[in-house]
Amino acid sequence: MSLPEKLLDEAVELFRGLLRIDTTNPPGRERAAAEYLADSLARDGLDAKLLEPEKDRTSLVARLKGDGSKPPLLLTAHLDVVAAEPARWRHPPFSAVVEDGWIYGRGAVDMKNMAAMSAMVLKALRREGAALRRDVIFAAVADEEAGCDKGSRFLVDHHAELVRAEFALGEIGGFTQELNGVRLYPIQVAQKGMVWLKARVEGTPGHGSMPREDNAVLGLSASLARLGPGALPVHPTKAARSFIGAVARAQPLAARLLLPLLLRPSLADRLLSRLPDRGVARAMNAILRNTVSPTVLRAGEKTNVIPSFAEAQLDGRTLPGQSPEDLLRELRAVLGEKVHLEVLNSMEPVEAPTDTPLFTALSKAVREMDPQGIAVPSVIPGFTDAGPLSRLGTTYYGFSPICFPPSPRVSFSDLYHGDDERIPVEGFKRGLIALYSTVRGWCSA
């Protein structure tokens, strides 16, 4: 399936217009971007609802009706972006400059591309009067980068009927990730949970001139020093097995044999320490265990006063199937009894099945977009709108397709929240075709 060149060019211009709207979060102010998309949809007779929990923190929901004989499909993207430092960029981050076939802009891959593609899919289906059995819903949401509260979480809590769907396609996946010359396309099927914690140690206060063995700062720092990347046990979950299995099957012989050994708890750490690509090693480590990163420290006010307590904040992440209590139990075993732990905030992990006809359709779309491309079901260590949206019973897949050229070799992970965020014009167009044919096939079948 393809799309006329004229429509693809129109999509590029819609996308560039969206990139020019600064939706840096904080403060977000997604309204202008939501209105821009609503105007574009209206030109094709598509009504969009703009919804906001507070002024200018706007999400958009539009629906192209099917005959209702099958449940809806949701296309979703967030409209906010993370901050950019213009001095570090080749082109101003909100200028959408095109150079050598690449479009530059904050949000180019994370993820105004998906917002523009989804709007265009609705417009294209509307124009051709496609006979659909499923509604296609498009939700462009606010506030993902700051934790989803004013975007997808607000929609799920207050407007569930507008976004409830059987399946959703959104962040993160469908882009080229080269490993040992193999062109992989991760599709998010699981994401870790989040458990933010406070760790506190109490001690006896006193004068700094007379050191004490029960100094709270020493107690806390000794415990925290035990929290390296490999501190907590390895759990080879189903999601990790299917991801590592799929990546390994596509690899040259040595990697094909070695990668599955990561799933053996007794061998995992030895192998991780030997992976030459440290970025890959960190990503693999994160999908094999619950993790915790100390991020904030607080103790004492004066150089000559031993404080009565020391505190740290820990960013904990749990695997699918693991609860905050599981993480606390593992942490207590490492930190010892003197450290008091308190949960500050948490989000459940998410896991979707991969043995669905839609997942099969996504794998096929990847092969059509890139004949050498191989879809792999992936687990992501961070969180996305999949968290709130899955609470409605929706099966969420990360599929915002982009086809990156073999050269110049640019990696999605470097662009994601990075300087000079950009996307190849051709790769964007091929992504749009892949998304359009998947949606059309899935919703009219």
Which CB, 150 or 289, lies closer to Zn ion? 150
Nearest-approach distance from CB 351 to Zn ion, in angstroms: 20
Q: Pseudo-torsion of CA 172, 173, 176, 180, nearest 10°?
A: 90
Q: How far is the CB of 171 from Zn ion (least distance, A)?
A: 5
For residues 171 and 330, which CB has a smaller minimum distance to Zn ion in the complex? 171
Q: How far is the CB of 127 from Zn ion (least distance, A)?
A: 29
Q: For the range 26-32, what are the long-range contacts, defined as Cβ-Cβ under 8 Å and sequence gap of 24 or more?
A: 26/146, 28/56, 28/57, 28/80, 28/142, 28/143, 28/146, 28/150, 29/56, 29/57, 30/56, 30/57, 30/58, 30/59, 30/79, 30/80, 30/142, 30/143, 30/151, 31/55, 31/56, 31/57, 31/58
| Beta carbon of residue 139, minimum distance to Zn ion (angstroms, whole number) | 14
Residue with tokens 């997808």: 152
Restricted to residues 231-290, the positions that interact with Zn ion (CB under 5 A) are none
Closest residue to Zn ion using C-beta atoms: 110
220 versus 415: smaller Cβ distance to Zn ion: 415
Stretch that binds Zn ion, among 54-62, 105-113, 320-328, 386-394 (CB under 5 A): 105-113
The pattern of x and - marking residues 157 through 196 that bind Zn ion according to CB under 5 A reads: --------------x-------------------------
Candidates 35-43, 81-89, 110-118, 203-211; binding stretch for Zn ion (CB under 5 A): 110-118
- By CB under 5 A, residue 143 contacts Zn ion: no
Looking at the Cβ atoms of 152 and 322, the one nearer to Zn ion is 152
Bond before 26 cis per omega within 30 degrees: yes
- Give how many residues touch Zn ion by CB under 5 A: 3
Name the one range near Zn ion by CB under 5 A: 18-26, 111-119, 123-131, 354-362: 111-119
Min separation Cβ 112 and Zn ion, Å? 10
Nearest-approach distance from CB 106 to Zn ion, in angstroms: 11
Of 163 and 299, CB closest to Zn ion: 163
The nearest distance, CB 78 to Zn ion, in angstroms, is: 6
Q: SS3 of 364, please?
A: helix
Query: Judged by CB, which is closer to Zn ion: 91, or 417?
Result: 417
Peptide bond into 27 cis (omega under 30): yes
Nearer to Zn ion, 113 or 285 (CB): 113
Among 30, 110, 143, 351, binds Zn ion (CB under 5 A): 110
Q: Which is nearer to Zn ion, 173 or 324 (CB)?
A: 173
Contact 118, 138 (CB under 8 A): yes
The per-residue DSSP string of 157-225 comes to HH-HHHH--SEEEESSB-B-EEETTEEEEEEEEEE-EEEEEEEEEE---EETTS--TT-HHHHHHHHHT
Please state whether 148 falls in left (phi above 0), alpha (psi between -120 and 50) or beta: left
Helix (H, G, I), strand (E, B) or coil at 60: strand
DSSP 24: B
Q: For residues 108 and 424, is the Cβ–Cβ distance under 8 A?
A: no
Q: At closest approach, how far in Å is the CB of 387 from Zn ion?
A: 12
Query: Under the rule (CB under 5 A), what is the footprint of Zn ion?
Result: 110-111, 171
